[in-house]
Structure 1
Amino acid sequence: MARRSATALSAGSSSVQDYVKVIYSFTEWQERPITASQLASRLSVANSSVSEMVRKLMDLGLARHEPYSSVELTEDGLHLALAMVRRHRLLETFLVRELGYRWDEVHDEAELLEHTVSDTFIERLDQKLGYPSRDPHGDPIPTADGGITVPSALPLRELDDGHRGRITRISDANPELLRFLAAESIDLDAPVTVLERKPFGGPLVVKVGDTSDARTFDFGEELTTSLWIESDGVHAGCRLPEPSRR
């Protein structure tokens, strides 16, 4: 199968695994291609290093790239990316549930572990955890065959006044933001209502919680781009992502 061949092809190369995972993750919640310069920024490496690695990915049959255009995964690249995303998110879930890690601590730990554990370990870990569908930040966990459920959600900043929904994903890009949310007891599935947008680029006024315990916050740009809201009554189905084709 493609997933197995891609994994075997890239065994032992953590850099290859990291690159395909970042390319996929960049497009997971929003259908937007990633450029080489954006890839360099996400991985905190030089543009020259990205160019060299992208050429390697192309030689391995994991990516396609034309000069001055986006970097896209092939079918093998997509399957490898989903396998690595699955490892990472299951490990994050395990660290939080079983070892008492905070949700702002797990990303870097999972980054180290995902390259070292076996496929058997991951499958037994999935069983031990009860086959979770999402990680501690709300990101969906792919199934063993590459299926994935991505909620129909939008960043908080894109919602109109009066919009109601629930927090379905919280970006893990900033650990300090996660610590702030934890201190305020703002977590996944918390009800959210957009009250108003302050003028002249001001904060978004948001009510968090049910009627009995609702609190009002003024959220700035970083918070409103980090919180993803699923509207009440809207659900997404399971899908297997398809690589772009030319």
Structure 2
Amino acid sequence: MSVAAEDCIKVIYAAQEWDDVAVTASYLKARLGVGAPAISEMVRRLHDQGLVTHERYGPVALTESGTRLALRMLRRHRLVETYLVAQLGYGWDEVHDEAENLEHVVSDRLLERMSERLGHPVRDPHGDPIPAADGTVHRPEAVRLSTLSAGDAGYVARICDDEPELLRYFTAHEITLDQRIEVLRRRPYAGSSTLRVGTEPRSGELELTDVAAAALWVVRERS
């Protein structure tokens, strides 16, 4: 299977891993950066191989075989990201593109050695679950921070890695995995919130736009 086809399978799965996004040809075109004819041909081939289902003008969905392949690719990608951060000193804002290249060429033997060295991690540096070798996935019951109301609090479980600059912004403000965040005030018409980051009584306040807050997923704190 080509690298482009593997990437396409992975994108389809990721679109519905945390959200319920309808995967259309336009969506794939935007995510993969290729033209409409190439997307149509790729989807046709994946359909012929029994990896996706697709009706004319309808969304693209993975079959059971397609899902197994997607989980295999995500395991590779996320283990490589984790290894680069934990063992080679990469920043979490630097690893996505490196992993995109390495995931297609690393051998299964090397990948399992990496997993063993890391202690068989269950999530990557951004909080995305690392599928087990048997395809098992453990995803936390998390929601977008932007959906919380004033007075709600939770612990960061996942940080979307689409924008490295945003990851650097979060780092500068000590927003990392497992950090507690409390919503102090919501300004829906201004598109922003006032947050308290951390558990200390004197933890500082931070203004965050709804766009940035949508990149953070939290597990709600039980009252």
Correspondences of 1:1-246 after superposition (within 5 Å): 10=1, 13-198=2-187, 200-233=189-222
The TM-score normalised by the length of structure 1 is: 0.87
Q: Structure 1: which 5+ runs fail to align?
A: 1-9, 235-246
Highest relative contact order (Cα 8 Å, sep 6+), 1 or 2?
1
Kindly provide the amino acid, as one letter, of the partner of residue 64 in structure 1.
T
Give distance in 1, aligned partners of 2:33 and 2:211.
20
Kindly provide the amino acid, as one letter, of the partner of residue 143 in structure 2.
L
Give distance in 1, aligned partners of 2:202 and 2:71.
39
> 1:199, CA displacement in angstroms?
5.1
> 1:201, CA displacement in angstroms?
2.8
- TM-aligned CA distance change 1:44 to 1:118, over 3 Å: same
Query: What does residue 4 of structure 1 align with?
Result: none
1:31-54 CA-partner distances (Å, limit 9, x unpaired): 333111111111122222211110
- TM-aligned CA distance change 1:86 to 1:54, over 3 Å: same
> 1:60, CA displacement in angstroms?
1.3
Q: CA RMSD in A?
A: 1.4
Stretches (4+) displaced over 2 A: 199-202
> 1:221, CA displacement in angstroms?
2.5
Give distance in 1, aligned partners of 2:189 and 2:220.
27
Give distance in 1, aligned partners of 2:11 and 2:77.
12
> 1:182, CA displacement in angstroms?
1.3
Partner of 1:149, secondary structure, is coil
- TM-aligned CA distance change 1:59 to 1:165, over 3 Å: same
1:22-74 CA-partner distances (Å, limit 9, x unpaired): 00001001233311111111112222221111001111111110011110011
Give the number of equivalent residue pairs: 223
Give distance in 1, aligned partners of 2:210 and 2:33.
23
Kindly provide the amino acid, as one letter, of the partner of residue 166 in structure 2.
L
Give distance in 2, aligned partners of 1:197 and 1:186.
18
> 1:123, CA displacement in angstroms?
1.3
The TM-score normalised by the length of structure 2 is: 0.96
Give distance in 1, aligned partners of 2:189 and 2:62.
40
Give distance in 2, aligned partners of 1:144 and 1:161.
40
Q: Is the 8 A contact 2:174 2:197 kept in 1?
A: no
Q: Is the 8 A contact 2:84 2:95 kept in 1?
A: yes
Partner of 2:214, secondary structure, is helix
Q: Structure 2: which 5+ runs fail to align?
A: none
Give distance in 1, aligned partners of 2:222 and 2:133.
28
